[in-house]
Amino acid sequence: MLPFGRLARVLGRRKPAAVDPVVGSSLFFRVWPNDLDLNRHMNNSRFLALMDLGRYDLTRRIGMLAVAKESGWFPVVASQTIRYRRSLAPFSRFELRTRVGCWDEKSFFMHQTFWQSGELVAEAWVRARFLSKEGSLTTAQVMALIGDVRPSPAMPESVRLWVESGA
């Protein structure tokens, strides 16, 4: 379930600054009591919900959200992998960074990281696609509509192996 108050804050900004998709964007949050699990640290599912907000923010800032809405397209997560390295304690502040790491013919691979006090808390890769009523769109179609026709950055070896494993 999406944290709707945070969603309103992210999407409610009038005109956020445009960013390069490969450079990405950052959002800052605080761990609230409703983010906690029984171990009194941020629940693993809350990380995933906040990652949704990071992707909404990035797609909005690069112009893709508007193009998708106008075209009747919608983004979907095909698969994701996350590694938790540290806990986030109640009321602590942290940063979520989101960028497009690379892409192939069908999917965008979003790299999302959580940071606190300069330390990596969690790292995730998300395989995302855009769909229309007619089916899946190619990444070239999506990139062309936002006016970005550059080739993909090199796919990291760890992502290539993840994809080959059936992700």
Inside any domain, residue 148: yes
34 occurs within a structural domain: yes
Name the residue range of residue 37's domain. 20-164
Of the candidates 122, 123, 108, the one whose C-alpha atom is nearest the C-alpha of residue 59 is 108
In a domain, 141, yes or no: yes
Residue partners of 55: CB distance under 8 A and separation at least 6:
75, 98, 110, 112, 126, 128
Burial 31-56 (b: 16+ CB within 10 A, else e): beeebbeeeebbbeebbeebbbbbbb
What lies within 8 Å, CB to CB, of 147 at 6+ separation is: 63
Greatest distance between any 2 Cα atoms in the chain: 47
List per-residue pLDDT tens for the chain, 167 residues long: 567 778 778 777 777 888 999 999 999 999 999 999 999 999 999 999 999 999 999 999 998 888 888 889 989 999 999 999 999 999 999 999 999 999 999 999 999 999 999 999 999 999 999 999 999 999 999 999 888 989 999 999 999 999 999 86
Residue 14 falls within a domain, yes or no? no
- Contact (Cβ atoms closer than 8 angstroms) between residue 82 and residue 122: yes
How many domains does the chain contain in total?
1
- Of 73, 62, 67, the residue nearest 145 (C-alpha): 67
pTM: 0.92
CATH number at residue 140: 3.10.129.10
Is there a domain that residue 55 lies in?
Answer: yes
